[in-house]
Amino acid sequence: MKKILITGGAGFIGSHVVRRFVNEYPDYQIVNLDKLTYAGNLANLTDIEDRPNYRFVKADITDAPRINELFLQENFDAVIHLAAESHVDRSITDPSAFVMTNVIGSVNLLNAAREYWKGSYAGKRFYHVSTDEVYGALSEEGMFTEQTAYDPHSPYSASKASSDHFVRAYHDTYGLDVVISNCSNNYGSHHFPEKLIPLAINNIKNGQPVPVYGKGENVRDWLWVEDHARAIDVIFHQAKTGETYNIGGHNEWKNIDLIHLLCRIMDKKLGRAEGESAKLITFVTDRAGHDLRYAIDSTKLQQVLNWVPSLQFEEGLEKTVDWYLENEEWLANVTSGNYQAYYENQYKSR
Ligand code: NAD
Ligand code: DAU
């Protein structure tokens, strides 16, 4: 019997992690803590919300007294920390929100774990879910390994790098049992349509321009979100304390090639003539400080913990498109209201 606090469980990756743990471990109690920002959505979890081993708590990780109270009441055995501001473009517009949640919020959780687990760290674990963006940008060669020096460029990646450093500092200074994983770009169902793939699916579906930053030459390394959730499960249960694991699918794509592939899939799914959706591609002003290339070397995870990605990209992308086409109500709900204002503000001047 374990009681696990999962933060950010109403978001994209968090909801897949919550679902996996609730389904795979009926003897664990899963407490999902989420502030329900624009990115958090309980509709992501309707299939498991009534399970006896699942509970939702609405709370903000920047609210230290609330977090302390919860640790005192609940006696958690472990934390899997995903709550974050996660969108690079938003971090360029408003860095402070990223410092508050990603740095201060993470430190609040570490403090609570340190305080309430004090004297009996055995069997307790703090798992911090992080990103490959902390390593900075690659040129055309090479890959990020666990030894790559941190070199974040955006306010988002700087805030995630800072939280990674705090997590390691609490291990080295106080002996807290911590593990960190740094993952590449995820894709799949329930992805908020501010990020490239779901935004492009939504726009192609609606016959709207598909904005590609710069010349579309930037490269990202895409991983099926359920493979990330499975990697988190394996690392949570098997990694040694203080360890870091990189997670990635060896699946690099130039943005423009990815968008063309997506357009071909959407033409097929929507019964459009081949080449029709690609006419929507629109090159727009580049992102400031845009990292050229990310590529993850996940050899350690594959060799030490026997994790391998399960899906080929084209298969995963088709499944993703199918999910968005079958879940029109979900998409309509998340793209109403504030989303329109965000979109207008983000793209009008590009
Ligand atoms: P997301 O934006 O979809 O979800 C973030 C969740 O955190 C939301 O449910 C939101 O409501 C919640 N949240 C935000 N601020 C909060 C606060 N102050 N208190 C409590 N809850 C709060 O993000 P995601 O893409 O699912 O990413 C989850 C984690 O994984 C993040 O830590 C991110 O850095 C990391 N990550 C993401 C990717 C990716 O490709 N999306 C890749 C690697 C790592
Ligand atoms: O690498 C992991 C990271 O991946 C995570 O830590 C972040 O939380 C996640 O948002 C993601 O960051 P990116 O900036 O790589 O993802 P995004 O979907 O925003 O952009 C992917 C690429 O597409 C990037 O090169 C920018 C480009 N892009 C993005 C948008 C939103 C466009 O060309 N047009 C767009 O409209």
Q: Which residues contact 60 (CB under 8 A, 6 or more apart)?
A: 35, 66, 105
Half-sphere exposure of 35 (CA within 13 A, CB side): 15
Ligand 2 geometric centre to CA of 345 (Å):
17
**What is the residue-averaged pLDDT of the chain?**
97
pLDDT score recorded for residue 36: 98
For 56, counting Cβ atoms within 10 Å of its Cβ (0-12 exposed, 13-18 middle, 19+ buried), the class is middle
- Rounded to two decimals, what is the model's pTM? 0.98
Query: Got the DSSP string for 21-71?
Result: HHHH-TTEEEEEEE---TT--GGGGTTTTT-TTEEEEE--TT-HHHHHHHH
Q: State residue 269's pLDDT score.
A: 97
What's residue 123's pLDDT?
87
Closest ligand 1 atom, residue 13 Cα: 26
Between CA 278 and CA 265 the distance in angstroms is: 11
| HEC assignment per residue over 193-219 | CCCHHHHHHHHHHCCCCEEEECCCCCE
How do residues 295-314 score in pLDDT, each as one tens digit?
Answer: 999 999 999 999 999 989 99
The answer to whether residue 1 scores a pLDDT higher than 80 is no
Residue 26 above 80 pLDDT? yes
How do the domains of the chain map onto residue ranges? 3-187+222-247, 196-219+252-289+313-342
Interval between CA 267 and ligand 2 midpoint (Å): 23
> CATH 2.130.10.10: does it fit domain 3-187+222-247?
no
What is the structure's pLDDT at 311? 85
Q: How confident is the model over 6-21, as a mean pLDDT?
A: 98
pLDDT of the residue at 225 = 98
Whole-number pLDDT of residue 148: 98
pLDDT of 121 reads 81
Name the CATH topology of 196-219+252-289+313-342. UDP-galactose 4-epimerase; domain 1 (3.90.25)
Point out the catalytic residue in the list 54, 156, 187, 294: 156
Cβ < 6 A, ligand 2 pocket: 86-88, 131-133, 184-185, 195-196, 199, 211-213, 218, 220, 255, 287, 294
- The string of pLDDT tens digits covering residues 164-189 is 999 999 999 999 999 999 999 999 99
Instruction: Check residue 118 and give its pLDDT.
Output: 86
- pLDDT for res 274: 97
Residue 119: predicted pLDDT: 73
Instruction: Tell me which DSSP letter residue 119 carries.
Output: T
Alpha helices (H) along 207-312: 225-238, 255-270, 299-305
pLDDT tens digits along 107-130: 999 999 999 998 778 889 999 999
